[in-house]
Copies of this chain bind each other. A is one copy, B any other.
Amino acid sequence: MRNLVRQPQQERSIEKKNRIIEAGYQLFSEVGYYGTNTAEIAKRAGVSTGIVYGYFQDKRDILICVLELYINKVFDPFLRLFDKLTPPIDFEILIPKLIEQAIKTHKNNRKIHEALHSLASSDEAVNAQFIALEDNITLKISDKLSKLEVNIDNPLEKIHFAMDIIQSFSHEYVFDKHDYIDYFVMKEMVVKILKDLFN
């Protein structure tokens, strides 16, 4: 009965909803989920506190939408790297591009990545959303690869794990910056591993 959330149909409404998501995105990035309050989100979105609850069930619901936005921001440019390819794929060229893209993304999304991941661990819905979106990515890439005539064993496992490795390396590269690590060397390692995986 209560708590019905408007499904915005009109453009102005959709735009306003997006402004709120964008504001949430920024603030969660800057100070994390728990460091952000709804009033602040509303303020940055240029709307009133109340209307936020016209578009979202609660604060966590904003997070879920931010998560979707994040995934798109992160994976769309990633997927687009496959778009102009024609068989046969030259992994020697593709893989470094993918890594570069992942690094770029990580730089642009420093904090939100962890913010979202951490929420996933304590919130089943966020976690489910995360898994669903990851599934989506893996399957899309798999689809693209098969259209590009890449025929390998266990493609889903390989793709999924390759993504993990790339994420992991990008994270290292952007965030941790240990003194004793030569990241150029490490990157070459990753490239080699991935090439071996897909050839």
Q: Are A161 and B156 in contact (CB under 8 A)?
A: no
Which of A37, A121, A179, A197 has most B Cβ within 10 Å?
A121
Q: Which of B115, B120, B157, B178 contacts A181 (CB 8 A)?
A: B157
Q: Which of A17-25, A94-102, A185-193 contacts B (4 or more CB under 8 A)?
A: A185-193
Q: How many monomers of this chain does the complex have?
A: 4
Known: A114-B117, A117-B117, A189-B157. A178 touches B122 (CB 8 A): no
Give chain A interface residues in 63-107, CB to chain B under 8 Å. none
The interface size bin for chain A is 35 or more
A167 CB contacts on chain B under 8 angstroms: 168
Are A180's CB and B122's CB within 8 A? Answer: no
Verify if A11 is at the interface (C-beta below 8 Å from B): no
Q: Indicate if the CB atoms of A154 and B178 lie closer than 8 Å.
A: no
Q: Residues on A close to B: CB < 8 A?
A: 1-2, 31-32, 34-35, 37, 40, 110-111, 113-115, 117-122, 127, 131, 134-135, 138-139, 154, 156-158, 160-161, 164-165, 167-169, 172, 175-182, 185-186, 189-190, 193, 196-197
10 residue pairs, one from A and one from B, having the closest CB atoms = A118-B118, A114-B121, A32-B122, A164-B168, A157-B186, A114-B118, A168-B168, A157-B185, A34-B34, A111-B121
